Structure 1
Amino acid sequence: MTTPGDRGQGVPIQPVDPTRAMVTVATYPEYADAQRAMDFLSDNNFPVEHSAIVGTNLRMVEQVLGRMTTGKATLYGIGAGAWFGLFIGLLFAIFVPRAWLTMILTAVLIGAIWGAIFGAIAHAMTRGKRDFTAARSLQASEYGISVSAQYAEQAQQLLARLSAQPLTT
């Protein structure tokens, strides 16, 4: 296992499976680059089941999308409730030989009403502690290709060929 400051090529890391030692054979600034390298290894018949893409220096990023109001919470509740109502309506419609469309529309309407009520109440209960919407994601500062120690040399040779190739999109 390496310390957080170690970033060199060929540095062992904590393995996913403790019975096999892993070695980092390459690092990339973007996940797409690491994915491209792993795909290249796979295309060249490398035993990829002995490898992993490992993100390091993880951070959680919360991108604020906008302000949340009681009106917006009610609208989101209507949408969620309508979808749930559609699901329930379709289940009930299976067992109703006639008027199945009425059954579905009624369930959607009831779901939308209850969704609006619950959406508004849920937002009101926060008492202004979270009046915004956001999308969360995990991001890494770099991505490493780690392979079992017995395959490290083979992986390094293949990835050296990949770095000599021009990038194509």
Structure 2
Amino acid sequence: MIDTVPATAATPATASAAGGGDRPVVGSYDSYEQARKAVTFLADNDIPAHRVAIIGENLRLTENILGRVTAPRAAGMGAALGACFGLPSSLLVLLAAGPWAALLAGVAFGALLGAIFGLTAYWTACGRGDLLTSRSLVAARYAVVADVAIADDARSLLIKFGWRTG
């Protein structure tokens, strides 16, 4: 659903200076996807996209706990990272030297060093930071703002055409 400031409002809402200056709010949405679709709709209707912005309001950090980091998991993650670093270096050796054994040796050596590094980092932490997490920044509302010169046109378009999300 679209919540807009009526075109007849005496003082339209404006975004804070942190969002790039005082620009009137032309639409307010529950999700980022809705706000993005509104901006796309405006751009499709000849509103310059570079003069419009999406501003997240009332931000909150969400951290989901995915599991605990154990010694085997730390070694495995380190080995995977080390193998990823060992592969490009072994490809350089492969191009220079030629044998495919260099490729496998580079990956294996990288995995071994990565596992050692992962275990060392795990044991050094001593129980601090032994949780595997995923963080995301989410806003409660997303305001679509536009430059003052085009704000009335943008707001009118959103109201006139009854822009809604599917």
TM class, shorter-length: 0.7 to 0.9
What code does the residue aligned with 1:77 have? G
> Any idea what the Cα deviations from partners look like across 1:76-134, whole Å, max 9, x if unmatched?
011111111011112222322x21x2111110000000000000110111100122100
- For residue 76 of structure 2, what is the amino acid of its counterpart? L
Name the SS for the 2:126 alignment partner: coil
For residue 149 of structure 2, what is the aligned residue in structure 1?
Answer: 150
Structure 1 residues 63 and 28: CA distance shift in structure 2, 3 A: same
**Is the contact between residue 84 and residue 111 of structure 1 (CA under 8 Å) also seen in structure 2?**
yes
SS in 1 for 2:132: strand
**AA aligned opposite 1:95:** A
CA offset at residue 30 of structure 1?
Answer: 0.5
Please give the TM-score of this superposition, normalised by the length of structure 1. Answer: 0.85
Counterpart amino acid of residue 156 in structure 1: R
Runs (4+) of structure 1 moved beyond 3 Å?
15-18, 165-168
Match of 2:105 in 1: 106
**Matched residues in 1 for 2:62 and 2:39: separation?**
26
Sequence identity (%): 33
The residue type equivalent to 2:149 in the other structure is Q
Q: Distance in 2 between matches of 1:139 and 1:17?
A: 20
Q: 1:15·1:22 contact (CA, 8 Å) conserved in 2?
A: no
- Are the aligned partners of 1:27 and 1:145 in contact in 2 as well (CA < 8 Å)? yes
Q: How many residues align?
A: 157
SS at match of 1:93: helix
Other-structure match for 1:120: 119
Q: Does 1:131 align with 2:99?
A: no
What is aligned with 1:61? 62
Q: Which runs of 5+ in 2 are unaligned?
A: 6-11
Give 5+ residue unaligned stretches, structure 1: 1-7
Residues in 1 aligned to 2:18 and 2:53: alpha-carbon distance in whole angstroms:
9
2:38 and 2:163 in contact (8 A); partners too? no
C-alpha deviation, 1:165, in angstroms: 4.9
1:39 aligns with 2:40: yes
SS of corresponding position for 1:139: strand
- Normalising by structure 2, report the TM-score: 0.87
Report the equivalent of 2:14: 12
Alignment match, 1:4 = none
Distance 1:16 1:92, change over 3 A: farther
Name the Cα RMSD after superposition: 1.9
